[in-house]
Amino acid sequence: MRKAALSALIFVAFATAVYAQKTQKAGDILKSAQTKAADDKKSIFLIFGASWCEACHQFDTFLALPEIAPIMDKYFVVAHITFGEGAAGHPDWDTPGSDTLITKYGGISPSGNVGLPFIALLDAKAKLIVNSNAPTGVKGKSETTGFPTEPDEIKWFLSMLEKAAPLTPDELHKMEDGLHQAVAD
């Protein structure tokens, strides 16, 4: 029941964000995140996702877990960009300019494929630190890990966090436990 209520809350928040982003451009969302990241001396955790993407909702649920949210807030400014709504017949739901940003941060493969959620960790100047494209070998080839569920994907996600912020071993352990919990639920 708790999971269902949390999922419903996440969906409402995501739907609200999608609606709010109709009037906001991707560049403006990023610029706002940059300002906050510079002021708070944090990195930017940029998430590209879509309303139809179950893995995106699972990832948002993970980020909202009581043991995970404070860690994320300590090190990151989280910003959401809506991308890929055309797959559900609603390309007008995409955040204007999302295609440019996802391309800039490496979210579109050479073959034109996109895996969602796509995550880009940026410094306060919006320079890419690392993205969720796992290096060759993690999944047998270079591709985005999306919501990390497999051991190699979880390992890659944790290494991404370490590249972008000085998480303690205890914080990394909590993140790993949270991912395992989210996968088991």
Q: Which residue has the higher pLDDT, 7 or 119?
A: 119
* Beta partners for residue 144, in sequence order: 133
pLDDT of residue 145: 81
Cα Rg of the chain, angstroms: 15
Across 69-83, 141-155, 162-176, least confident range: 141-155
Mean pLDDT of 152-165: 95
Q: What confidence tier does 183 reach under pLDDT thresholds 50, 70, 90?
A: confident
Question: What CA–CA distance (Å, rounded) separates 165 from 93?
Answer: 32
pLDDT of residue 22: 54
Q: Which residue has the higher pLDDT, 110 or 90?
A: 90
Question: What CA–CA distance (Å, rounded) separates 159 from 185?
Answer: 24
Phi/psi region, residue 60 (left: phi>0; alpha: psi -120 to 50; beta: rest), is alpha
**28 contact partners, CB below 8 Å, separation of at least 6:** none
pTM summary value: 0.85
Structural domain boundaries in the chain: 2-131
Q: What confidence tier does 177 reach under pLDDT thresholds 50, 70, 90?
A: very high
User: Residue written as tokens 């295609």?
Assistant: 99
In order, the DSSP letters of 42-62 are -EEEEEEE-TT-HHHHHHHHH
Question: What CA–CA distance (Å, rounded) separates 8 from 13?
Answer: 9
Mean pLDDT of 131-146: 71
Q: Among the CATH numbers 2.40.50.140, 3.40.30.10, 3.40.50.2000, 3.10.20.30, which is that of 2-131?
A: 3.40.30.10
On the question of pLDDT at 73 being above 90, the answer is yes
Mean pLDDT of 3-7: 51
